[in-house]
């Protein structure tokens, strides 16, 4: 069974159609890439799957169940968590507290505290535990954003452009980190711009343009397709 399925998923804001008739099937345990030029509807897709935006038409099935009516927080409790493009951490709280909070929701206090430390270590944040989130550099903030999401014991993790503003060596660490999350059994939907990252991580890939699916398949196959090149660079290059 597919972990996540969308059927004719459409989201319109007034006259602007951000996502149009998407039919995606995401198997468990893979990294599913979502790429496309700016404004293609990638973040909207994440917003709709997590419930931040309501579906205009179509449906979303998680583990076979229609989750359209569930509010965002319930979807997180079901196992769908996302990270934000601009990290949304609890800036006045420490790194430890940031990771602890989602854990407290799901585990008894003592266990949660131990797990928070374990996760921090896994995410290379062990030395920053007592630092306030607002003191962190961009790269560490991204790690914290991932750590918080990881702490929700997600089945499906939607990662929104994690590489934005990240240095090149940090990028390799992030790639390895996301790979290890997948290897742990977490299904990942990765929205990303940086091609090197997508090619390195994605098991399957969908290319969006103007909210519509224009290609689907393995990265190597998809990236050479005429429609894809056209979408990114214009027809002269196709």
Binding characters for another protein, 57-86, by CB under 8 A (x = yes): --------------xxxx-xx---xx-x--
CB of 8 to another protein, least distance (A): 25
Closest to another protein by CB, 71 or 217: 71
Among 20, 43, 44, 50, binds another protein (CB under 8 A): 50
Question: Of 153, 35, 162, nearest to 87 (Cα)?
Answer: 162
Closest to another protein by CB, 140 or 223: 140
CB of 73 to another protein, least distance (A): 5
> Residue 156: in which H helix or E strand, if any?
strand 156-160
Q: Is 200 in the site for another protein (CB under 8 A)?
A: no
Among 12, 30, 93, 138, binds another protein (CB under 8 A): 93
- Is 11 in contact with 40 (CB distance < 8 Å)? no
Cα separation of 133 and 88, whole Å? 10
Cα separation of 104 and 55, whole Å? 30
What b/e string do you get for 89-119 counting C-beta neighbours within 10 Å, with b at 16 or more?
beeeebbbbbbbbbbbeebeeeebbebbeeb
- Torsion over CA of 100, 105, 108 and 109, rounded to 10 degrees? 30
Segment near another protein (CB under 8 A); pick from 16-24, 55-63, 95-103, 162-170: 95-103
Interface contacts to another protein, rule CB under 8 A: 50, 52, 71-74, 76-77, 81-82, 84, 88-93, 97, 100-102, 104-106, 109, 134, 148-149, 151-152
């Amino acid at each position: 069974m597919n972990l996540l399925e969308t059927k004719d998923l459409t989201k319109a804001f007034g006259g602007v159609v951000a996502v149009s008739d998407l039919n995606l099937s995401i198997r468990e345990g893979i990294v599913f890439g979502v790429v496309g030029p700016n404004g293609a509807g990638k973040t909207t897709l994440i917003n709709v799957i997590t419930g931040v935006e309501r579906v205009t038409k179509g449906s979303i099935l998680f583990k076979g169940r229609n989750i359209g009516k569930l509010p965002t927080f319930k979807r997180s409790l079901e196992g769908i968590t996302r990270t934000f493009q601009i990290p949304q951490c609890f800036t006045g709280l420490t790194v430890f507290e940031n990771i602890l909070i989602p854990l407290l929701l799901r585990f008894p206090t003592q266990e949660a505290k131990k797990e928070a430390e374990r996760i921090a270590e896994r995410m290379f944040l062990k030395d920053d535990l007592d630092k306030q989130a607002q003191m962190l550099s961009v790269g560490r903030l991204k790690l914290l954003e991932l750590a918080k999401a990881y702490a929700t014991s997600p089945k499906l993790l939607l990662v929104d452009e994690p590489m934005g503003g990240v240095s090149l060596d940090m990028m390799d660490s992030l790639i390895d980190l996301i790979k290890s999350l997948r290897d742990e059994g977490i299904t990942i939907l990765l929205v990303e711009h940086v091609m090197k990252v997508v090619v390195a991580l994605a098991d399957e890939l969908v290319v969006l343009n103007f909210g519509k699916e224009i290609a689907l398949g393995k990265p190597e196959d998809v990236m050479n397709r005429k429609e894809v090149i056209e979408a990114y660079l214009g027809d002269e290059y196709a």
